[in-house]
Amino acid sequence: MKIILKIQRFNPETDDVPFFQEYTVEADPTDRLLDALIQIKQYQDGTLGFRKSCAHGVCGSDAMQINGKDGLACKTLVKDVADQDGAK
């Protein structure tokens, strides 16, 4: 399924205010959100910055706002945050 991630971006050297940027990613419903972020960074936009470490829900370094709620990208499945259309 294709999902659309709307990610808040801000570069203090070039941006006056934060803005949202959309990325479309091919992902399986059982993929983790962290997998989608890694895919964006590797294949679409190397400037995307996010933190991660253990990738197993232990360290908490990939904590972020996901659909308005606090969560860990490595413990959040795509199917839990996206509709069949890829948005939620």
Q: Pick between residue 15 and residue 60 the one whose CB is nearest to ligand FES.
A: 60
Closest C-alpha to 34, from 1, 60, 14, 69 = 60
In angstroms, what CA-CA distances link 6 with 40, 54, 63? 12, 24, 16
The minimum distance between CB 46 and ligand FES, in angstroms, equals: 20
CB closer to ligand FES out of 2 and 51 = 51
CB of 16 to ligand FES, least distance (A): 31
Q: Comparing C-alpha atoms, which of 23, 27, 19, 37 is closest to residue 83?
A: 27
Per CB under 6 A, residues contacting ligand FES are 52-55, 57-62, 72, 74
